Structures are given as C-alpha cells and as structure tokens.
Amino acid sequence: MADKAPPANQPDLTPIFVLLLIIIIAGLGSVRSCNPSEPNTGCAQPPPTQTPEPERPGPPVTTNLKQYTVQVGNFKTRNDANILAGELRSKNINNFILQANGQWLVCVGRFVSADRANRMANDLKARGVGEPVVLPPKKK
C-alpha cells in the first residue's frame, strides 16, 4: 500500500492560530481593574453608599491618650468608623481611630493644650464635620 499524501489545496493554519493566541494574550494584558477615583477612564462609578450617621458624641470618653484630641464620631463597629475616617481623608482631614469603652472613635489631631484642641473643634464644626468633642488626656 502506498502512503497517502495530504490533499494539495489545504493551507497550513498553524501561523494563524499562533497569531490569534498572541492577540488574545496581549489583550488580556491590557485588562485592568477600574479605579473610580480616576476620572474619564470609562469605568462605571459605583452607586453611592449611604453613610451611617455618627452617634452624637456624649460626654468625653476616657482614652489612654497623653494629649488632647477632637472626637468627630463614635460607632459600635470598626467598619462604620472606617467609613467616616475615609470621608474625612477625602476632605484632606487627617484622622485616626481609637477603641475605648467598647466604642470606635474617629478622632482628629493630638494637641498639647485644650485651647488648640478647641480651635480645631471649631474649625471642624465650621467645615460641617459632625459635632466635634474635645477629649482630654488621661489623668494620671
């Protein structure tokens, strides 16, 4: 029996498959995640989330701070405190979160005097940042 030769008019498709594979791989490399903070990137903006209202600051909470600070919110969960902290950072207001007496406190600044802390509290109030309360340092 004689070996069968391939039909004469069938093209070799290997280069086409290689080219398609290269195009697919290159296309996957250009895929990136959307960053909503980058305008005009074609990324869909996520729906706005409702920010939980901070609880009204009651009397100052005893903290372990050695300086005065300004409390702008207190929450039962760390996640709620993180949301307010992120909003403050978006307004270029540096802040930090403390845990005291089972609450999560969002605070702004560490001050050596009550006068400076009160000035910050008044400034925050003028900027519409909740009901700031000055927390005194822990008494020894």
Do the Cβ atoms of 140 and 90 come closer than 8 Å? no
Distance CA 34, CA 101 (A): 39
Question: In which element (H, E) is residue 116 found?
Answer: helix 114-126
Check which CATH number belongs to the domain holding 115 and give it. 3.30.70.1070
Q: What is the pLDDT of residues 69-110, one digit of tens each?
A: 999 999 999 999 999 999 999 999 999 999 988 899 999 999
Residue 72, helix vs strand vs coil:
strand
- What local confidence, expressed as pLDDT, does residue 9 receive? 72
Task: Indicate the SS3 state at residue 103.
Answer: strand
Task: Report which of residues 37 and 81 the model is more confident about.
Answer: 81
- Which secondary structure element, helix H or strand E, spans residue 107, and what is its range? strand 103-111
| pTM reported for the whole predicted model | 0.55
> Total domain count for the chain?
1
As given in the structure block, the two tokens for residue 42 are: 């074609």
| Region 18-47 average pLDDT | 63
**Where is mean pLDDT largest: 1-15, 24-38, 55-69?**
1-15
Query: What's the pLDDT score for residue 110?
Result: 93
Q: Are 98 and 135 in contact (CB under 8 A)?
A: no
**Structural domain boundaries, residue 96:** 73-135
pLDDT value at residue 79: 94
In a domain, 83, yes or no: yes
Tell me whether residue 123 is in a domain: yes
Residue 84 lies in a domain: yes
Residue with the bigger pLDDT between 108 and 47: it is 108
How far is Cα 134 from Cα 15, in angstroms, rounded to an integer?
73
SS3 state at 98: strand
The confidence score (pLDDT) of residue 13 equals 78
The answer to the question of residue 96 being in a domain is yes
Tell me the two tokens of residue 136: 């005194």
